[in-house]
Amino acid sequence: MALLLTRTDIQSFLTIKDAMEAVEEAFRQLALGTVDMPQRPVIRVPDHHGVVLFMPALIGGMGALGMKVVSVYPDNPKKYDKPTVLGLILLNDPATGEVVAIMDGGFITAMRTGAVSGVATKYLARSDAQVAGVFGAGVQARAQLLALAEARPLVRAVVYDVVPEARQRFAADLSAQLGIPVEPVDDPRAAVEGCDVIATATSARDPIFDGNWVAPGTHINGIGSHAPDMRELDTAIIQKARVIVDLRAAALAEAGDLIIPIQEGAITADHIAGELGEVIAGRIPGRTSPDEITIFKSEGLAIQDVSVATKVYQLARARSIGQEISI
Ligand SMILES: NC(=O)c1ccc[n+]([C@@H]2O[C@H](COP(=O)([O-])OP(=O)(O)OC[C@H]3O[C@@H](n4cnc5c(N)ncnc54)[C@H](O)[C@@H]3O)[C@@H](O)[C@H]2O)c1
């Protein structure tokens, strides 16, 4: 028997706090060496501007095994009224290999991507950070701001999206959800200046703000770009910052934010100070001074999905949520 969990089921109980706890432990296990995570195969579907990624992982130290299939189709919202990111997760019993759960992977993708930024913010942002700037007002951006608010006691946030209605809707929804003022701004500069933490969660292909606007002491989570020729962050800000990644190999294979400055000769691969798991495990420092600019660059790892899906499965079982199916 397997448990079938829909997006609505998962949305009814999964909190960003639960997701952050699962993801933090997954990255600790990655640093401890209990993870088996092959590099994800990516299939591009150029006729429809889409990519499909196949993301398996075993996290030995958490007894978690599974795989996500996720698609990223930026034309979906406009053309088909569907989300850009759609996904499905299979969870296996590590003892028998049996599939024990089949669940929606769309909401979990947003929550686990928010969660890793929340954990990075906990370790890298200044402890007195209280104003957030958000780029993008889509599905990922919402979970990014929830996670920033979980990591630091925010008093205010601003959001910039190229689509005015999107940023206005985001601001109204997130103000109500978080109970703090979230203001839409029509100039990207206003989502950088005066902000202590910044989240970039857009579908942009080229840098979305000028790195020279960023004040000392700022922490940035860059999660949007996912291909060697795509970036949200410009060379200036990458050069100035202490850069932590989720996985070096993934960053050097997929993160245009780093690959393009390397190709330009502005930095070398050694500019990457380390991986988030190494910071969590205490092997390398996070922030080293109040004035340092820190960047966490996320490509997204299967351990995030598998750890959060395992938590979702446990919570659903405890609450008797979902539908048992026989395959
Ligand atoms: N790192 C990860 O683990 C991870 C996980 C999921 C998605 N992603 C990536 O995140 C990106 C966003 O995904 P989503 O599901 O939120 O998509 P979405 O379509 O819901 O939202 C993207 C938003 O970005 C806005 N945008 C585009 N260019 C912009 C710019 N220059 N400045 C400000 N806003 C801009 C769009 O108007 C849109 O509202 C995608 O590129 C996706 O591949 C990364």
For the chain, give every domain's residue range: 2-109+303-325, 124-300
User: Taking the chain, what is the end-to-end CA distance rounded to the nearest angstrom?
Assistant: 7
Which amino acid is residue 304, in one-letter code?
A: Q
Tokens for 304, please give them: 């995030």
DSSP 199-231: EE----SS--S-GGGPPTT-EEEE-S--STT--
Question: Could you tell me the CATH superfamily of domain 124-300?
Answer: NAD(P)-binding Rossmann-like Domain (3.40.50.720)
From the alpha carbon of 166, which atom of ligand 1 is closest? Answer: 39
Q: Decide: 298 in ligand 1 pocket, CB within 6 A.
A: yes
Percent helix, strand, coil in the chain, to 5, is 40, 25, 35
Nearest alpha carbon, ligand 1 atom 38 = 138
Q: Are 301 and 247 in contact (CB under 8 A)?
A: yes
User: Among 68, 122, 297, 311, which one carries the catalytic annotation?
Assistant: 68
What is the C-alpha separation between 176 and 1, in angstroms, rounded?
Answer: 40
Q: Report the pLDDT value the prediction gives residue 325, as an integer from 0 to 100.
A: 96
In order along the chain (327 residues), what is the average pLDDT of each group of 10 residues? 97 98 98 96 96 97 98 95 96 98 97 98 98 97 98 98 98 98 98 98 97 98 94 98 97 97 98 98 97 98 98 98 95
Is residue 204 in contact with ligand 1, taking CB distance under 6 Å?
yes
The closest-lying atom of ligand 1 relative to the alpha carbon of residue 141 is 16
pLDDT at 37: 97
CATH class of 2-109+303-325: alpha beta
Nearest to 211 by CA among 145, 130, 120, 293: 293
**CA atoms in the 13 A half-sphere facing the CB of 73:** 20
Tokens found for residue 115: 């969660």
Q: Is the CB of 184 under 6 A from ligand 1?
A: no
Contact 303, 17 (CB under 8 A): no
Angle between helices 164-178 and 139-151 (to 10 degrees): 30
* Token digits of residue 240: 């100035």
Q: Is 224 in the pocket of ligand 1 (CB under 6 A)?
A: yes
Question: Which residue from 202, 210, 231 has its CB within 8 A of the most atoms of ligand 1, so it is best to mutate?
Answer: 202
pLDDT at residue 226 in the model = 83
Give the CA radius of gyration of the chain: 19
Q: Is 68 a catalytic residue?
A: yes
Of 152, 165, 143, nearest in space to 224 by CA: 143
Pairing of strands 50-59, 272-275: unpaired
Q: Is the CB of 140 under 6 A from ligand 1?
A: yes
DSSP assignments along 27-95, one per residue: HHHHHHT-EE-PPPPEEEEGGGTEEEEEEEEEEGGGTEEEEEEEEE-TTHHHHHS--SEEEEEEEE-TT
